[in-house]
Structure 1
Amino acid sequence: ETPEWVTDGSADKVAAAVLDWALRNNATLYCHWFQPLGSSGLRHGMTGQVQNSMFEFDKQGLPKWSFTASNLLKGETDGSSFLHGKMRATHSAGAYAVLDPTSPIFLRGDTVFIPSCLVSYNGDPLDEKTPLLRAADALSREGKRLLKHLGYEVSGVHANIGLEQELFFVPREAYNRRLDLQMTGRTVLGRDAPRGQELCDHYMAPPSLSSPALSCMQDVQNQAFKLGIPLRTRHREVAPNQYELASLYGTMTTQIDQNLMVMQICEEVAVQHGLAALLQEKPFQGVNGSGKHNNWSIATSDGTNLLNVKQLQATTGTGEIFPVIMAAIVKAVFQHGDLLRLAIACPGNDFRLGACEAPPALVTTHLGDDMTSFLEGYINGSSEPYTAQTKQLDLGVSVLA
């Protein structure tokens, strides 16, 4: 949580532990793993890396395995061939991959993966993660400041997310015949399928034991679990051959890194089952496209969910904090809806609009009747705590409560 660990000797201990862990698992390489700008839908895995061996010779010329704090904290590479928006001068083409301590190191195959940021020679971000961490810093800094004014002192505030990954698994033999699918991720030519999702027969239907899609998802879950990624949910989605995998929620940076790896695993494992994994938003016209629902919340560093009314009130002893948090969120969405949409919905998402698919080109905070009534009452001076209203449904069946 603090940068002092880099210089107080802790980094050396971490590097030594990583080396011991790697060698015990027959891993002899490491890489700084980053997400270059503009890589979505273009490069395999949407990430970049250079895999380096831990083998070297000591001063006496004897072979040894070595992984130091310097190796852990930073890697240097050529930044000239990444998208940079003219932030990199020709005479300073170097780039640095810097360890992101908010996301855990993991091991895959013979390589240790070190989640990292990629910056230019002058410190300009060449990746997607550096701006994300800047936003995380701003959230923590201003969140602490706000809560302190409300009488609740915390050491930090962070975002938790849970990502739901939708995708298509299609026969690879058919995929190999479609150059448009291979090059763009979408079918550009041809007719609509003679049968789509009109009968609603695919959504949450039982995965067939005779289908390679089920065995593929099982392998994806097994490989992900070995990397410390618990994929909790799998099911059929609305469109034919469309599926969803969802992981347990967690901190923002960890969840994003894990989702990147899950998508890469899906693409690789699908090949082994004679399938192709399609991750583009709208591969086929006339049926649903694939989304990535982002279930978002904010919490303090001690684990208090700021959107959980009962937990927040039990921790702080006051009901004054929750409505202020809600007001800040509503104002942020109202004031910065254009930036939110820019960050959330890329142009490919426009193909998904309408029907029961993606939301329209509006970013809103639909609070529901209970929350709206509570906030209106609070504005008018009410001190009643927020309580989600429930009602008993009569299903006409005695054994169903």
Structure 2
Amino acid sequence: MTDLTKKYGTMVFSEHVMKQRLPSDTYKKLSKTIKEGKPLDLDVANSVAHTMKEWAIEHGATHFAHWFQPLTGITSEKHDAFLDPVGDGTAITKFSGKELIQGEPDASSFPNGGLRATFEARGYSAWDPTSYAFIKDEVLCIPTAFCSYTGEALDKKTPLLRSMAAIDEQAKRVLAFFGKKPAKVTVNVGTEQEYFLISEKDYAQRQDLVMCGRTLFGAPPCKGQELDEHYFGAIRPTVNDFMKELDDVLWGFAVAAKTKHNEVAPAQHELAPVFCNANRAIDENLLTMEMMKLLASHHGLVCLQHEKPFEGINGSGKHNNWSIGSEDENLLDPGDTPEENLQFLVFLTCVISAVDDYQDLLRMSVASCGNDHRLGAHEAPPAIISIFLGDELSDIIDALAEGHEAGHASRESLDFGVAVLPTFDRDTTDRNRTSPFAFTGNKFEFRMPGSAVNVADANTMLDTAVAKALKDFADAMDERGDASFESAAIAYIRKSLAAHKRILFSGDGYSEEWHEEAVRRGLCNFPTTADALPAFVEQKNIDLLAGMGVLSETEVRSRYEVKLEKYNKLMNIEATTMERMARRTYLPVISAYATKIAKGITTVTSAMPAAEMSHERRELSTLLDGVDAIYEGIDNLADLHRKAKAFECAQDQANCYAHEVSPAMDRLREAVDAMEPIVAREYWPVPTYDDLLFYV
């Protein structure tokens, strides 16, 4: 039997490996850098680099690469060999401390929002020692940050690390009022990754999947998810083989892949890891996504990570489980008596106020072309931010906000009514799958991020908003005068909860009534990316990010431009693909099938003039009407597409894509999809949903 523990972390230069292989003094200094943020001198870096190189070569590595997260949303790497010629026809292996801690990617070739012109190419990648280096495809990958020659962050890791530092600083200030002095307060994250697996052969025949990651056309399958049979169902052998290989590879990277199962939609699945600090969790999620795509091909499959690859069935999200804690405690753990746990109530209040004050920024952080199709589509939370606390905490919050004494929670037993089955305590609250931001016992689950995104953005904004709320509390306590800390803290909690109670909602987030109620409460509702992105450059949000030292105004504005540019480019690709597929893939076969029906009518009526052939004539009429509708749809889409591309202002272009081009795409899709159930199977030019979702 395989010893699973021996696989774990074999391809990672982990703390365990460092402790074993580094000189004791070097390890202590590096540990201080990792745990306390102490500067790392070049001598220590040289020692670490040498040991890292020797370890990597022993494990088959031939190259090293700075592995970073540019604003494209994926990872990047440039491979350099360890070999160094010495001039006599031989070579040595070499890896210096300078090469470890600093690289030089081309900063003008990555998205930068105008920060770097084409002739201003220099940029720097800097080693992040708080995330483990690992070996992938015989390359030692070193997690790094990425900045421009002038110092602006050009990646997603740098602002995330800054936001985590802000939480650390402000949470320590708050904990000091409780007589606690932790070494560090850490943001912890667990990312649940949803994805689809389909046949590689079918994928290759779908231009829309290849170009856009989602199907732009496709009639509903004969059977979808209405029988609720796929969720947690038996995993088909091909998928199980893929999952086994994925587990083995991820465990080698010390990615604690824990849970795997079938999701609600046919061909949809999920992987969830164990929590770790946010920086490593995000690095590991990006590595997981890459491995999913790579390993799927070993099994004749393609892994789709788009938020909505198939219309009419559930899309894929990436639930972001978020908490904060010190080395001794989870700061969001309410304990047995949350109404008496002042420390918990302070941190809970700060989270509530942060989410309410910066709901627009949080919505912006998950905005993407793909997520526009998923949010609010009855498998994901709506585009309106709200917080679900559950019955127990809601009662406590209501009492505090209204100045009443909170009652004690009581736990009920759950009895199945069968003697052999155990009884156990019922949780004090149910779960709400329609809530964008739900408290789930000792953490918050941010359910809005889409499956394809790097959740560094969402965590950066959330961390920064909470850090600001903690700072406001700590500042107020510093200025409380003669009042006792306890009385001042309770007064602050009551006032804050009364001011921010509008963000709390425990009902059905899908209902029309909630959308109407949200408007009455004054909550933000940005249904599309084009609607959501301007929040990024609202002055209050710039002030937040700059004031907390996370992103300067220049960095914020550049990211806004990058996000707009990406959205517009993706919409352009989708519209172009749709026009060409409708014209070149679907119209010819629909017309050909209509011609076949017409010839059949002519042939039969020539032989039997009395034959009415009413059904055939009706079908021919339907096909011809469909062809006309498709031509009209193509022309309409092409006109609006040209209109969108003509805008010089990126925001105006995005608005046109979101509110004019996208509805035109829906109309064209409807016209083509209406033909699919009519045209004979042998005529239809691409694999249908029945083929894609129910492959063997």
Q: Is the 8 A contact 2:197 2:267 kept in 1?
A: yes
Going from structure 1 to structure 2, the CA distance change for 1:394 and 1:265 (only over 3 Å counts) comes to same
Instruction: Name the counterpart of 1:155.
Output: 183
Equivalent runs, 1:41-120 vs 2, <5 Å: 46-57=74-85, 63-120=91-148
Q: Does 2:348 match 1:322?
A: no
Tell whether 2:418 aligns with 1:393: no
Letter in 2 for 1:391: E
Quote the Cα distance in structure 1 between the aligned partners of 2:98 and 2:254.
Answer: 25
More strand by share: 1
The correspondence for 1:333, drawn from 322, 345, 355, is 355
In structure 1, the partner of 2:390 is: 368
Contact 2:42-2:98 within 8 A present in 1 as well: no
How big is the shift at 1:91?
4.2
Match of 2:374 among 352, 368, 371: 352
Instruction: Mark the CA change 1:342 to 1:354 in structure 2 (over 3 Å): closer, same or farther.
Output: closer
User: 1:167 touches 1:277 (CA, 8 Å); kept in 2?
Assistant: yes
- Aligned-pair distance for 1:355? 5.4
Q: What CA distance in whole angstroms lies between the structure 2 residues aligned with 1:70 and 1:16?
A: 11
State which drifts further: 389-398 or 80-89: 389-398
Per-residue deviation at 1:60?
8.6
Aligned to 2:205: 177
Q: Name 2:315's counterpart in structure 1.
A: 289
Contact 1:304 1:311 in 2 (8 A): no
Match of 2:64 among 25, 30, 46: 30
Letter of the 1:369 partner, please give it: D
Deviations 1:22-61 (A, max 9, x none): 121121211000111033xxxxxx2111010111145998
1:200 equivalent in structure 2: 228
Alignment partner, residue 304 of structure 1 = 329
Q: Could you tell which deviates more after superposition, 2-11 or 96-105?
A: 2-11
The code of the aligned residue for 2:230 comes to H
- Look up the match of 1:42: none
> Per-residue CA shift, 1:350-390, capped at 9, x if unaligned?
21244541101121221112112234455647598xx7642
Task: Give the TM-score, by structure 1 length.
Answer: 0.90
CA distance in structure 1 between the aligned counterparts of 2:104 and 2:207, rounded to whole angstroms: 37
One-letter amino acid of the structure 2 residue matched with residue 326 of structure 1? L
How far apart are the structure 2 equivalents of 1:57 and 1:285?
56
The structure with the greater share of residues assigned to helix is 2
Alpha-carbon deviations, 1:93-114, whole Å to 9, x = none? 1011111122111112311110
Q: CA deviation at 1:274?
A: 0.5
SS at match of 2:413: coil
Task: Answer yes or no: is the 8 Å Cα contact 2:127–2:145 preserved in 1.
Answer: yes
Amino acid at match of 1:249: F
Give the secondary structure class of the aligned counterpart of 2:129.
Answer: coil
Moved more, 47-56 or 124-133: 124-133
Aligned to 1:123, the other structure's residue is in SS state: coil
Letter in 1 for 2:412: K
Matches of 2:351 and 2:392 in 1, distance apart?
A: 17
Distance 2:119 2:36 in 1: 34
Q: Which residue type is aligned with residue 413 of structure 2?
A: Q
Q: Which residue among 240, 246, 249 is the counterpart of 1:214?
A: 240
Shift of 1:7: 1.3
Residue segments in structure 1 that go unaligned for 5+ positions in a row:
40-45
More moved, 131-140 vs 180-189: 131-140
The 3-state SS of whatever aligns with 2:316 is coil
2:258 to 232, 253, 256: 232
Q: What is residue 289 of structure 2 aligned with on the other side?
A: 263
CA deviation digits over 1:324-358, x for unaligned, max 9?
11110000011001111111242422212445411
Give the Cα–Cα distance (whole angstroms) in 2 for the partners of residues 58 and 305 of structure 1.
Answer: 54
Residue type matched to 1:21 in 2? W
Question: Take 2:419 and 2:399, find their aligned partners in 1: how far apart are those partners?
Answer: 38
In 2, Cα distance between the equivalents of 1:180 and 1:4?
A: 50
In structure 2, C-alpha distance between the alignment counterparts of 1:383 and 1:174, rounded to whole Å: 59
C-alpha separation in 1, matches of 2:369 and 2:171? 32
Q: Which runs of 5+ in 2 are unaligned?
A: 1-34, 424-696
Distance 1:130 1:152 in 2: 29
Q: Which amino acid counterpart does residue 370 of structure 1 have in structure 2?
A: E
Q: Which moved more, 1:278-287 or 1:107-116?
A: 107-116
- Equivalent residues of 2:396, 2:406 under 8 A apart: no
Shift of 1:149: 3.2
State the partner residue of 2:174. Answer: 146
Q: Structure 1's 258 and 303: CA in aligned 2 closer, same or farther, altered over 3 A?
A: farther
Spell out, residue by residue over 1:197-221, the C-alpha distance to the aligned partner (whole angstroms, 9 max, x if none): 0111111101123xx1111111111
TM-score under structure 2 length normalisation: 0.53
Whether the 8 Å contact between 1:304 and 1:312 is mirrored in structure 2 is no
Which structure's CA Rg is the greater one?
A: 2
Q: Is the 8 A contact 2:395 2:406 kept in 1?
A: no
CA distance in 2, matches of 1:381, 1:10: 58
User: Relative to structure 2, which stretch is displaced further, 330-339 or 129-138?
Assistant: 129-138
Letter of the aligned partner of 1:224 in structure 2? L
Q: Does 1:20 align with 2:54?
A: yes
Question: Could you tell me the percent identity over the aligned residues?
Answer: 38
- The code of the aligned residue for 1:335 comes to D
| Residue type at the aligned position of 2:58 | R
